[in-house]
A and B are shown apart, each in its own frame.
Chain A
């Protein structure tokens, strides 16, 4: 469906490390999500204010987000002072944490996410896969179902996923929570036909 409004709030979800990673995913995050719009016919200015959210244990993502925003040409800059915010959020699951104990940490993360979502009330959510995005996406989805607030959710699967989706990706895809779902490898698109294959974005 097409929405007849000007999206004025954007949340970007960064990730910390994922499942087994011995690599911090912010590297992927910074390169991918940012250049995504930067290269694109400059539609970035349409999305303001912009909120960047990263995991509480992830110090690099927001730093990268800040330097990205500072590197933007003038016409893409967030105009008003309060139109650019950076927040951190509790993780639903730490690297290597078992799926069983992650139930409790997920609840804590959801409560915190709920507070953030009520405060920000985003119209557009763009996320790239880490567990951090799940509570926010679930809340956005419930808000939609309950008619409280309509947010469009866009999900870009990690470039590291070639054949199988990540847990976050599976949830958002199968429960149809993401309005548009992007994958970076053709094998994935074959298995998940509702996804857009957009090529390797790195």
Chain B
């Protein structure tokens, strides 16, 4: 797993996607989660909070504690992920695979307020394959304490060739 460390800055990037997920924002700025992150050597916490109404307290980290900052939306989420040492994300497949493909350690937090929540299936399946950790807002602290980044398995991007081959054959094209 890659660590985006530079100049001793170790960033935790939190993303909620295009809607809101206040429960996640509240969970990451809770005292015990912030302490655990600080204990693990992270220096900055940056939150993409979407349309959420809860604004977390900002902190510049001058006193040696974890620096906290947030913003609503950005078109360059990938850049933030790239510069992060740890990503905490909602369960959307876009964010999940973007983070995995950049080789960043990832904790996915499932939004329990959604009905028909098929997205937790994806996070749980990928957790079973050791590509990421899966948590709920209230279990985030617990997940952080037991997290071992070395045990994560790097995700290898998929290959569309079999699909194209089946389609080509079906349409009567010869194999190259």
Contacts and interface: CB of A to CB of B under 8 A. Distances in A.
Interface of A: 2-4, 7, 19-28, 31-32, 35-43, 46, 124, 126, 152, 154, 156, 158-164, 166, 179-180, 182, 184-185, 196, 198-202
B121 A163 contact: yes
A24 B118 CA distance: 15
A43 B173 contact: yes
12 contacts: A2-B170, A2-B172, A22-B16, A28-B93, A28-B94, A39-B164, A42-B176, A124-B171, A160-B118, A180-B167, A182-B166, A201-B160
Given A20-B117, A201-B158, A201-B160, A179 B170 contact: yes
Interface stretch (B17-25, B34-42, B64-72): B17-25
Contacts of B3: none
Interface string B71-102: 00000000000000000001111110110110
B92 A201 contact: no
Given A3-B172, A21-B92, A41 B160 contact: no
B94 to A, nearest CB: 3
Contacts of A46: 168, 173
A202 B158 CA distance: 5
A76 B117 CA distance: 39
Contact of B119 (A32, A154, A160, A179): A160
Given A40-B164, A199-B159, A202-B97, A22 B18 contact: yes
Contacts of A126: 167
B156 to A, nearest CB: 9
B172 A4 contact: yes
A113 B21 CA distance: 35
Contacts of B100: 202
Contact of B167 (A154, A162, A200, A202): A154
Interface stretch (B108-116, B134-142, B145-153): B108-116
A40 B160 contact: yes
Contacts of A162: 118, 121-122, 124-125
B93 A202 contact: yes
B57 interface: no
Contact of B163 (A2, A28, A40): A40
A179 to B, nearest CB: 6
